[in-house]
Amino acid sequence: MATDAGTLYLVSTPIGNLEDITLRALRVLEEAAMVACEDTRHTARLFDRHGITTPRTSFHEHNEKDKCEQLLRRLLDGEDLALVSDAGTPAISDPGYRLVHKAAEAGVTVVPVPGPSAALAALTVSGISTAGFAFLGFLPPKHQARRKALEALAAYPVALILYEAPHRLEAMLADLAEVMGPDRRLAVARELTKVHEEVLRGTAAEILEHFRETKPRGEITLVVAPPAKPDAKDGRLPDGLDDRALGSFVNWLAEEHDLKRKAAAELAAGLLGVTKNRAYRASLDRG
């Protein structure tokens, strides 16, 4: 631990309604020597609303390499700094994690100041089981890469939380309905905590039809329900989850968690109630 260093605070900020900020977050933002923001103009609206005058500096994907070093030097010189994203919890789907990594590696104390998160807000209102979930952020924007990702995730046994841009939502839903089946349950949360907040719940086919008729706008979070549980007695996968999907799932587990194919097949077998041999053979067929 760098005993003379300052502290890096990860401060969660509102995802829409500017009243959704904690008293502790306001105090930390007021007391910090500087606040690193994705967009200083965006954060200015929050500061103006709450009378905060702390200096701000931009910190985003285009300048993070240089700014990381500058911010780290200030921390090591003993200054307390705060990191915020444009909305929600910093270091989630933004470059903040690199600063966290470097600060922690240098012995700087890193402190979370928890608060709003679009991913968790969407999950809680989705009506989909919260017994387990995986946050995946944005899937690849191009059609083939997105389909490949969806195939790998089709058999994942927990809720999936995804972000998507409004102009790609219809294409995403079309791919999802084709790969995971038109009856897969999901929820689309749009503009959470804002004036035009909307939460749609239904099947992939139903929600796709809605957005074909009504073009979406604003910030969008999808929550996809897990597939129906397989019958552990005969080892069958649920409807729409054949060996092709099983093989993609095993290979995705291997790549995502840096596992050998046999270990990934064993994990998939335990999660889905199929035999290890079947999961392994399916993964070989998928490459």
Say yes or no to pLDDT of 202 above 70: yes
- Flag whether the pTM goes above 0.85: no
What type of residue is 169?
L
**Which pairs count as long-range contacts for 234-241, CB under 8 Å and 24+ apart, including other chains?**
235/273, 235/274, 235/275, 235/278, 237/155, 237/272, 237/274, 239/181, 239/183, 240/154, 240/180, 240/181, 240/183, 240/184, 241/154, 241/155
Please state the rounded mean pLDDT for residues 18-31: 97
Q: Please give the helix or strand (H or E) that residue 134 lies within, else none.
A: strand 133-138
User: 267 or 239: which carries more pLDDT confidence?
Assistant: 267
Q: Minimum mean pLDDT among 135-139, 150-154, 157-161, 233-237: which range? A: 233-237
Say yes or no to pLDDT of 237 above 60: no
Question: pLDDT band for position 220 (50/70/90)?
Answer: very high
What pLDDT score was predicted for residue 1? 58
Count Cβ atoms below 10 Å from residue 165 Cβ, excluding itself: 12
DSSP string, 32-85: SSEEEES-HHHHHHHHHHHT----EEE--TTTHHHHHHHHHHHHHTT--EEE--
What pLDDT score was predicted for residue 12? 96
Say yes or no to pLDDT of 235 above 60: no
| Three-class secondary structure of residue 111 per DSSP | strand
Q: Minimum mean pLDDT among 67-71, 206-210, 229-233, 246-250: which range? A: 229-233
What is the spatial distance between Cα 112 and Cα 90, in angstroms, rounded to a whole number? 9
What type of residue is 85?
S
What pLDDT score was predicted for residue 242? 73
What pLDDT score was predicted for residue 232? 39
What pLDDT score was predicted for residue 3? 67
What pLDDT score was predicted for residue 229? 60
The C-alpha angle 50, 67, 60, rounded to 5 degrees, equals 60
Question: pLDDT band for position 169 (50/70/90)?
Answer: very high
Q: Which tens digit of pLDDT belongs to each residue from 121-130?
A: 999 999 998 8
Pick from 273, 267, 157: which is nearest to 283 by CA?
Answer: 267
Question: pLDDT band for position 287 (50/70/90)?
Answer: low
User: 141 or 242: which carries more pLDDT confidence?
Assistant: 141
Say yes or no to pLDDT of 156 above 60: yes
In 201-230, which positions are buried (b, 16+ CB within 10 angstroms) versus exposed (e)?
bebbbbbbeebeeeebeebbbbbbbbbeeb
| Three-class secondary structure of residue 10 per DSSP | strand
What pLDDT score was predicted for residue 271? 73
DSSP strand pairing (198-203 vs 34-37): unpaired
What is the spatial distance between Cα 173 and Cα 277, in angstroms, rounded to a whole number? 33
Name the residue with tokens 């841009």: 165
**Rg, Å, the chain Cα set:** 22
| Three-class secondary structure of residue 198 per DSSP | strand
Please state the rounded mean pLDDT for residues 96-108: 93
What type of residue is 50?
H
**Residue 128 region by backbone torsions, left for phi larger than 0, else alpha for psi between -120 and 50, else beta:** beta
Whole-number average pLDDT of the chain: 89
Question: What Cα–Cα distance (Å) separates residue 68 from each residue in 45, 64, 86, 179, 196?
Answer: 24, 6, 18, 40, 36
What pLDDT score was predicted for residue 236? 47
